[in-house]
Amino acid sequence: MGNDEVVVKKIVLLGDSAVGKTSLIRRFVHDQFDDAYISTIGAKVSKRVVATRYKDVDYEVKLMVWDIIGSKGFQSTQAKHIAGADGAILLVDLTDPKTRAGLEDYWIPLLREVTGGIIPSLTFVGNKMDLLAGEEEAQATVEFFRQMEAKYCDDFDGKLETDQKAWILTSAKTGENVERSFETLAINMLAANSFLDPMNRQIGVAKAKSIYESDGRKTTRSVMDLVIMELPHLVKSTSKSTDILQNCISRLGFSKDLPKPRNVLDFVNCVLSSASEAGANPEEVQKYRDNWMKHLSKFK
């Protein structure tokens, strides 16, 4: 493989909570599966190399796989992590038809907004094949994906291999088609490679910043979004921030989809206490506390 072309690509997994994004990544990167559901808070980045062949050239595609929070309403955090993506896997739960609507109602519009209307390479994935009792729901999802492919992936007509599609059905539990889903996106990105403007990454960063700055923090969930967005700057580490957020959510045990003001107050206190224990500057801790509490005070 020493003579292979090497490319690095950032990809994001998008879809509603509990569709299986984290499980799909765990199966792809570590070949593991866990039935316990752990909701993603903030973002986690995994890495894996995909060896593939496109137009008679062998490639090593180094994928930086971003698993981001799936709850709707955390646009600042989501936009920040979407920025600069070369591709996206858009997931639905084959057993839950409502998750199909989430793609067009929330995730694709957000992706389009962050990328300035220039949508990157997409692969649509229907997960949880192992839970299907019959073919009816799978066929409904396949038809939905065909419509999505025609609507959002037609820019690459003629550039892909003849049998290449922009959708696939998988099972993170059994591993069926998991490798293939990422390989599909890798080939789609290679096909689009020469057609992407290098300015897209800067556009994404600017758009994400705009979304962050224009959010009026009109809901308690949006205040949580602010905390999740800013904590890495306080603790000077993305991985440390992710651990703190996950631990606080697990410890407090409330739903991040419908947080009450008291829940968010407890969340802020937990996050700041953990940041202090992790060595954050006391003056900065107080600065972030004042700002977060100012936004939270609207709901008391």
For the sheet containing 167-169, what is the strand order?
43-54, 57-68, 5-14, 87-93, 121-127, 167-169
3-state secondary structure (DSSP) of residue 60: strand
Residues 223 and 101 in one domain: no
> Above pLDDT 70, what percent of the chain?
90
Residues 118 and 263 in one domain: no
What is the C-alpha separation between 149 and 155, in angstroms, rounded?
A: 10
Domain residue limits at 239: 217-299
Last residue of some domain: 200, 234, 267? Answer: 200
Q: State which of 23-32, 140-149, 267-276 shows the largest mean pLDDT.
A: 267-276
Q: What are the tens digits of pLDDT across the range 132-162?
A: 877 888 899 999 999 999 998 865 444 555 4
Residues 125 and 225 in one domain: no
With beta carbons less than 8 A apart as the criterion, state whether 42 and 242 touch: yes
Alpha helices in 31-128 (DSSP H): 75-82, 98-102, 108-114
pLDDT at 16: 94
- Residue that wins the pLDDT comparison between 199 and 250: 250
Residues 11 and 106 in one domain: yes
Task: Please state the domain count of the chain.
Answer: 2
Structure tokens at 225: 């979004």
- Residue that wins the pLDDT comparison between 225 and 239: 225
Confidence of residue 195 (pLDDT cuts 50, 70, 90): very low
- Residue that wins the pLDDT comparison between 68 and 208: 68
Residues 70 and 176 in one domain: yes
Residues 114 and 195 in one domain: yes
Residues 188 and 226 in one domain: no
Residues 28 and 169 in one domain: yes
- Which CATH number goes with the domain that contains 56? 3.40.50.300
Residue 1 pLDDT > 90, yes or no? no
In this prediction, residues 240-255 reach a mean pLDDT of 91
Q: Checking DSSP bridges between strand 43-54 and strand 57-68, what pairing results, if any? A: antiparallel
Confidence of residue 123 (pLDDT cuts 50, 70, 90): very high
What are the residues whose beta carbons fall under 8 Å from the beta carbon of 255, sequence distance 6 or more? none
Residues 178 and 257 in one domain: no
What is the C-alpha separation between 171 and 128, in angstroms, rounded?
A: 5
User: Is 25 within the bounds of a domain?
Assistant: yes
